[in-house]
A and B are shown apart, each in its own frame.
Chain A
Amino acid sequence: MSFQPVKFYQTGTFTVGNRLLPPEERSVQASAKRFNSINSGHRACQGCGEALGARYAIDAAMEATDGQVIAANATGCLEVFSTPYPETSWQIPWIHSLFGNTAAVATGIAAALKVKGLSQNPKTRVVAQGGDGGTTDIGFGCLSGMFERNDDVLYICYDNGGYMNTGVQRSSATPPAARTATTMAVGPEPGNVFGQGKFVPAIAMAHNIPYVATATVADLRDLEAKVRRAMEFRGARYIHILVPCPLGWGTPSQDTIKMARLAKETGIFPVFEAEHGEIKSVLAIRRPLPVEDYLRPQKRYAHLFGKTPALATIAHIQELADRNIRKYGLQARKEGH
């Protein structure tokens, strides 16, 4: 676990705040004075997980740096819904890059800070952010270079499992069997193929960079602790946040957090952190559930639950989740008090 959970205080550290905790022990999001780095009026869909994840992450980064964050942002929903010209939702210095080069732009900002001597104010830190498409596909070369050179950038990937901004096309982070506009639910193997998978957090770890973590919008305390931890390092850092997309996943807008929780609880999405290539902690499953509980509510998997359920496909996805559980040691543990 990335942070010390409060043993027992009614809702422990599960809720955003908790009136029984001293204010300094509450989350950044609980504070009436939080930055709201991304402001109201943005044009994200109702219940957007990416808008939420971005505010969680950047507010935490702002908190950790006394408000000294500069962000570069790849093209994608986050960029488009927050900055239709000439309007912006961002309350931080924010630079739009191209779809594929945000890691390089951030590297450039970090280098400029150094050259201009602005890193004399060591609190000013650079964050790069992009969607899974911009990160795992087109921006992957720039990203790997940034890792390999250990540039002083925190890269945050908001993974919603597809190119959502352009109408839900497949990315290399789209999960197997999921229906997208380019992996239709037709033919003998409907939906996305079962490829080898491409899990960028593991690839980031293979670069042995100082810090790699995964998180979801369902575990705020964990997410904030990871951003805070990331800011304690210099060099390349990577946080991969699962952000459900009601539109692309075909889930009701109120279920965004629930879907992220189910992804974690079923083992579909492993939540962990690693330093210098070694796993340091994992968020254990609290109430184990079969993957079906995660798949069934999503329209992108509707074809698995037709008149004749695709039992073999569901079993295959279950195997992948079970492998995550084994590999990362996600088994449920007894909650102490």
Chain B
Amino acid sequence: MDKPFAITLDPGSSLANRTGSWRTFRPEYLDRLPPCNAACPAGENIQGWLFHAESGDYEKAWQSLVENNPLPAIMGRVCYHPCEGGCNRQHVDSAVGINSVERFLGDEARKQGWKFAPPAASTGKRVLVVGSGPAGLSAAYHLTRLGHQAVIYEAAPLAGGMMRFGIPKYRLPREVLDAEIKRLTDFGVELHLQTKVADVLQAMKDGFDAVFLGVGAHIAKRAYIPAGDANKVLDAVAVLRGMEGHDAPMLGRKVVVYGGGNTAIDVARTARRLGAEEAIIVYRRTRDKMPAHDFEVEEALQEGISIKWLSTIKEAGESDIMVEKMALDDKGFPQPTGEFERIEADSVVLALGQDADLSLLENVPGLVVEGGLIQVDAGMMTGHPGVFAGGDMAGSERTVTVAVGHGKKAARAIDAWLRGEVYAPPPKPEIATIERMNSWYYSDAPKTMRPVLDIIRRQSTFEEVLGGLDESNALFEARRCMSCGNCFECDNCYGVCPDNAVIKLGPGKRFRFNYDYCKGCGICAAECPCGAIRMVAEEN
């Protein structure tokens, strides 16, 4: 014993003292579901692809995006981005411009010629896809990824469905559409144009093991309007389809559009670009009841389109129409008032919605049709085994993104069905709500606005209205993402632990708790910005 005065023990380290035994709650890392992902009808992992975009790795971001949706450049233009409606950043300043970053990635992919990762090994199965709208394209893409041969039969001379024959060029330039379709055919999707399927079961005899139907809804709904011979009453779908032909439709100087959906808006804006001096939308309910989105209405108003709310068309004369004013009753329904007004009009375009043409299914036993929609199960399968359906023909929420989501879900279910199994989607983790996060840590950063085409050119040309972000803007916008529910390696937990009980595993590897010393104070969980840590009661 050779110790200094009054010292009887060797110095020891406090590491011998396992303070983890004090714990009554333990922290655990977890991934929560970001609300953007939860809101995306195509099931994109938005937080996941933004994570790569944040570090400037746009190709990886794009690759991650197309795992769920093969059409980013299209989505970045026409998707109504419900993801942004769910985005937690709106509780901090304003939602992340997810859609504009998506468009940037889609356009970058076109510029750089990025290709999809190679598909799985061939299964030898062939699946027929009827229709090349977003539902069909998405189903064909996901089937191909899974190793099946997807063959699309499309009645029209060009692919794209309503993305080509509905959505106008000023919102979706056709070279964007063409490029994303070409990437799909390069990937191995077989596309047969001008091949209308009249009888599905007959068509399946071409050696197909299953079929996905995505025929959309193209038959315009009519309303009875007494009309003189001379007056032109047209339907919106036909007018918009006509825009893809050689001769633009003749609508005249004064055009009245009847309806309140996005089709009505698009027809009115198209009429304006075709030279109509006046384009008036007549709609029987109020603005807040309009199915068209607010920003679309806004853009239309900016372009000089006028809207008559609470009005119905009673009759169409030679050069004018008769409109009756409506008033809301106590239940909020429009009722006729008996007050009439005449409006000059060279043509009337009806945009009252579309029904699906289900004639190709006439001989298929077991199908259930309700309210004009084909009924499907959770895996998009109709009442007839092996016949799957999605998109406008199968859903009342009719958007490109919903159609893409249906196509994906159906492809996975078809894949399982071909193996004699039933597709079970992986369980969804709990949502990373803003209450589960600590928004203090996010620095203030207002949303980046996309450039908008000037108003004169918007009234006379079909140039794209909404511009894209450049690289630095897109990077900024991506970095506004708060990575809700998913660790983004901010080192907070590692830094704030008073007991050094968090182990840093290195870039990309996240962290681990050292339960020998963690006292369970919960500071790490409270200070994790994105809510990727939860406290769980210890068993005993």
Contact = CB atoms under 8 A, between A and B. Distances in A.
B415 interface: no
A9 B482 CA distance: 11
B494 interface: yes
Interface in B502-528: 504, 506-507, 514, 516-517, 519-523, 525-527
B5 interface: no
Contacts of B525: 254
A80 to B, nearest CB: 12
Nearest to B24: A46
A84 B521 CA distance: 22
A257 B524 CA distance: 10
B507 A19 contact: yes
B10 interface: yes
B385 interface: no
B521 A29 contact: no
A86 B12 CA distance: 6
A171 B526 CA distance: 30
Interface stretch (A32-40, A186-194, A302-310): A32-40
B55 interface: yes
* B516, B519, B535 pick with most chain A CB within 10 angstroms: B519
Interface stretch (B202-210, B306-314, B435-443, B449-457): B435-443
B482 to A, nearest CB: 8
Contacts of B12: 86-88
A39 B498 contact: no
Nearest to A6: B443
A266 to B, nearest CB: 14
Nearest to B497: A52
Contact of A20 (B15, B55, B440, B445): B55
A86 B489 contact: no
A202 interface: no
A255 interface: yes
Nearest to A217: B496
Nearest to A42: B14
A214 B495 CA distance: 20
A203 interface: no
A251 to B, nearest CB: 11
A15 B498 contact: no
Interface string A246-281: 100000111111100100000000000000000000
Interface in B2-31: 9-19, 22
A13 B495 CA distance: 13
Interface in B465-519: 476, 479-483, 488-492, 494-501, 504, 506-507, 514, 516-517, 519
B54 A41 contact: no
A19 B488 contact: yes
A49 B506 contact: no
A150 interface: no
A55 interface: yes
Contacts of B72: none
Contacts of A17: 489-492, 494-495
Contacts of B496: 16, 52, 257
A43 to B, nearest CB: 7
A28 B514 CA distance: 20
A256 B526 CA distance: 9
A130 B504 CA distance: 30
Contacts of B17: 41-43, 87
A10 B517 CA distance: 31
A252 B24 CA distance: 13
Nearest to A14: B441
Contacts of A32: 504, 506
A337 B472 CA distance: 13
Given A18-B491, A20-B479, A261 B523 contact: no
Contact of A8 (B16, B479, B492, B526): B479
Contacts of A12: 443
A10 B54 contact: yes
Contacts of A256: 498, 521, 523
A85 to B, nearest CB: 7
B188 interface: no
A207 interface: no
A123 interface: no
Nearest to A246: B521
B54 A254 contact: no
B442 A10 contact: yes
Given A11-B442, A30-B491, A32-B504, A41 B526 contact: no
Nearest to B56: A20
A47 B442 CA distance: 23
Contacts of A16: 490-492, 494-496
A113 interface: no
A72 interface: no
Given A20-B479, A41-B15, A86-B9, A257 B526 contact: yes
A26 interface: yes
Given A41-B17, A47-B521, A88-B14, A15 B529 contact: yes
Contacts of A48: 498
* B17, B443, B492, B499 pick with most chain A CB within 10 angstroms: B443
A215 interface: no
A51 interface: yes
Contacts of B13: 39, 41, 87-89
A184 interface: no
Contacts of B479: 8-10, 20
Given A15-B491, A52-B523, A87-B16, 11 more contacts: A9-B479, A18-B491, A19-B488, A20-B54, A43-B14, A47-B521, A47-B522, A88-B13, A220-B495, A252-B522, A258-B526
Listed from nearest, the 4 A-B pairs whose CB atoms lie closest are A17-B491, A16-B495, A254-B522, A12-B443
Interface of A: 8-20, 26-27, 29-30, 32, 36, 39-44, 46-49, 51-52, 55, 82, 85-89, 220, 246, 252-258, 261, 335, 337
27 contacts: A10-B443, A10-B481, A12-B443, A14-B441, A15-B490, A16-B494, A16-B495, A17-B490, A17-B491, A17-B492, A26-B491, A30-B494, A40-B19, A40-B499, A40-B500, A41-B13, A41-B16, A41-B18, A42-B19, A46-B519, A47-B522, A52-B497, A55-B498, A86-B12, A253-B523, A258-B527, A337-B446
